[in-house]
């Protein structure tokens, strides 16, 4: 009888233990299973994002600022042209470019105003939006390497520098404007320095004739201006562009670090 009671007791103990094990190893609820699957998806997404980021860094995207071409591109890690004495940024929300564009522009303006300290405030037009891409009134200005810069006048015109003003033989300050142009061109040997400047052909002629009359040699002027060789000539770094008789459009080269710049 004692043996039978002992066997029954062992059986009850085994049943109780099995029930406890079953309780401890129960299948997860549907909600718990869904939450677990969601966490796994999030972890997998983080892994993919990390791999994609590392891949982009290897291709150079993360190092650069200017991506693509000036007329089909964008801007990342943008540098903002700061407000300063001697110039007015007409639309600050479009004053973003590469670091070299900003730094070399500031140098050209500063060097000009050092030589012409009594000049009126200079108008600064668009560079790019903070992230680049299409902006109104422009076909380019998409990748942080284009900047519109106003001209200097014998007397500050009404409405300037809030608006660009047409330049003519009677109102253009040739000396200061030519120096500003030269100072931009002087960046050509720098990393990300000037590539091309767009300026109306007739305004080029005004500056060309003034420079020639003031001792600048024809060979040097031929390296600078397209004038007088015709609007379709490949001569010079300064090229004709319609609707550019009231400002110069300065385009900078791709900085060395911008692997995706075109």
Give pLDDT tens digits for 31-65: 555 555 556 665 665 545 444 443 333 343 335 89
pLDDT at position 29: 62
Give the pLDDT confidence score for residue 64 in this predicted structure. 84
In the 3-class helix/strand/coil scheme, how is the chain assigned residue by residue? CHHHHHHHHHHHHHHHHHHHHHHHCCCCCHHHHHHHHHHHHHHHHHHHHHHHHHHHHHHCCCCCCEEEECCEEEECCCEECCCECCEEECCHHHCEECHHHHHHHHHHHHHHHHHCCCCCCEEECCCECCCCCCCCCCCCCCCCCEEEEECCECCCCCCCCCCCCCCCCCCECHHHHHHHHHHHHHHHHCCCCEEEEECCHHHHHHHHHHHHHCCCCHHHHHHHECCCCCCCCCCCCEECCCCCCCEEEEEECCCCCCCCEC
Please name which of 191, 41, 42, 72 lies closest in space to residue 141, comparing C-alpha atoms: 72
Q: Which residues of the chain are modeled with pLDDT < 70?
A: 1-63
Q: Residue 43, preceding bond cis, omega within 30 degrees? A: no
At 56 the pLDDT is: 38
Question: What is the structure's pLDDT at 39?
Answer: 63
pLDDT 10s digits, 223-240: 999 999 999 999 999 999
Distance CA 150, CA 105 (A): 12
Which pLDDT belongs to residue 36? 58
């Amino acid at each position: 009888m004692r043996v039978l009671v002992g066997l029954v007791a062992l059986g009850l103990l085994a049943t109780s233990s099995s029930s406890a094990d079953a309780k401890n190893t129960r299948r997860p609820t549907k909600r718990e299973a869904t939450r677990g699957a969601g966490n796994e998806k999030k972890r997998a997404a983080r892994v993919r994002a990390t791999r994609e980021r590392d891949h982009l860094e290897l291709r150079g995207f993360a190092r650069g600022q200017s991506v693509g071409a000036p007329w089909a591109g964008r801007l990342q890690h943008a540098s903002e042209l700061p407000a300063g004495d001697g110039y007015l940024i007409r639309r600050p929300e479009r004053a973003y470019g590469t670091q070299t564009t900003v730094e070399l522009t500031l140098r050209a303006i500063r060097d000009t105003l050092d030589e012409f300290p009594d000049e009126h405030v200079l108008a600064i037009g668009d560079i790019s939006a903070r992230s680049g891409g299409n902006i109104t009134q422009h076909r380019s200005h998409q990748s942080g390497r284009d900047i519109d810069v106003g001209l200097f006048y014998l007397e500050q015109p009404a409405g300037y520098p809030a608006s660009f003003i047409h330049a003519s033989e009677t109102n253009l300050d040739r000396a200061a404007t030519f120096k500003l142009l030269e100072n931009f061109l002087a960046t050509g040997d720098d990393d990300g320095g000037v590539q091309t400047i767009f300026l109306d052909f007739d305004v080029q002629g005004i500056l060309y004739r003034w420079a020639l009359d003031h001792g600048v040699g024809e060979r040097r002027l031929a390296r600078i201006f397209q004038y007088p060789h015709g609007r379709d000539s490949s001569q010079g770094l300064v090229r004709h562009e319609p609707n550019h008789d009231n400002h110069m459009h300065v385009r900078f080269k791709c900085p060395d670090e911008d692997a995706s710049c075109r």
